[in-house]
Amino acid sequence: MSTPRPSPPGSDATPAGGEFAALPLLWLHRTPTRTWNGPGSDLHASGLTGSVNFPWLRRSLHVVRVLTRYDFRGRYRAQALGVLWSLLNPLVMMSIISLVLTRVFRTSTPNFPIFVLIGLLVWQWITNAVSAGTQAFVANAELVKRTVFAREALPTASVLSYGINFCFEALVVLAFVPIFPNAFRLSSALLVVPAVVAILAVLLIGVTLATSVLNVIYRDVAYLVNTGLAILYWLTPVFYPTEVIPEPYRSILEWNPAGAMLTALRGAVMLGQWPAARTWAAMLLPTFAIAGLGWLLFQRHERMALDHV
């Protein structure tokens, strides 16, 4: 007589809590007392070999959705203001930078507060997503060791959860339309905005795929990433226009994909302009190169990282 399949274990089998109880078809979970094998685990095994398996891909996307939701909700658990805290930082920084650069250094950039706000919102997504994605394996060590799933979902979920933050924070820009009416242009160029956001998400996922596994093997990577972000902040036109950079440095920095995305967003929102061909090239070519390199590094070091986590 066949024995019925046991139901998913309780809290000891799902260390992340009830969020993961909805994934009986996607996970192979091991505990000291029991191993629960979901029927979807064989699909994951075929995915690890690199073969194309559309049911596995569909289930992996569902894992990404659940992890993203869990990460986003957990970030603001037990906080009275919740997501509003993430809005305060760019607003405070916008006020300080605008005050210093307009009153002290007398910048000539039109509608400078909106110019800075767009840069700060994008940069906040970049720095938070890369920092969290780099620590994704270390912060979820028990989940990684005891559960079999598409592990690239962990850094991807970090990027997407902070992408949700970015979408909420971007709504703050609309509050400044009555205050700075000349800073906005309603035009078809606004269709560029979701495309640029998607390209930025691909770039961040590519970066975090590489740094997440390398940080498990070489724990110095997290410090190198933080240092790199600090340097990149000054090399990205977050609070200054690229026009103030002299040649030949301007031509080099224009190939910074983050800077090109800021140029495209500001042009679409503030000027109603579509990105130039050079801007598209500066966004797409480095992004796909970095994403491809990140994927290759992840595939090469994933199993090694599992031995070190």
For residue 202, give Cα distances in angstroms to 111, 166, 206, 207, 265: 30, 15, 6, 9, 16
- Tell me if residue 231 falls in helix, strand or coil: helix
pLDDT string in tens for the chain (309-residue length): 444 434 333 334 444 444 444 444 444 545 444 444 444 443 333 333 344 444 555 667 778 888 888 887 777 765 556 667 677 778 888 888 888 877 766 778 889 999 999 999 999 999 999 999 999 999 888 888 887 778 889 999 999 999 998 998 888 888 899 999 999 999 999 999 999 999 999 999 999 999 999 999 998 999 999 999 999 999 999 999 998 898 899 999 999 999 999 999 999 999 999 999 999 999 999 999 999 999 999 999 988 877 777
**Which single residue is written with the structure tokens 């274990």?**
9
Strand ranges, E, within 101-256: 147-148
Burial class of residue 241, CB neighbours in 10 A (0-12, 13-18, 19+): middle
Residue 52 CA neighbour count, 13 Å, CB half: 0
List residues bridging with 35 in a β-sheet: 30
Nearest to 40 by CA among 56, 29, 51: 56
Spatial separation of the C-alpha atoms in residues 158 and 196, rounded to whole Å: 19
Spatial separation of the C-alpha atoms in residues 255 and 276, rounded to whole Å: 13
Spatial separation of the C-alpha atoms in residues 150 and 65, rounded to whole Å: 12
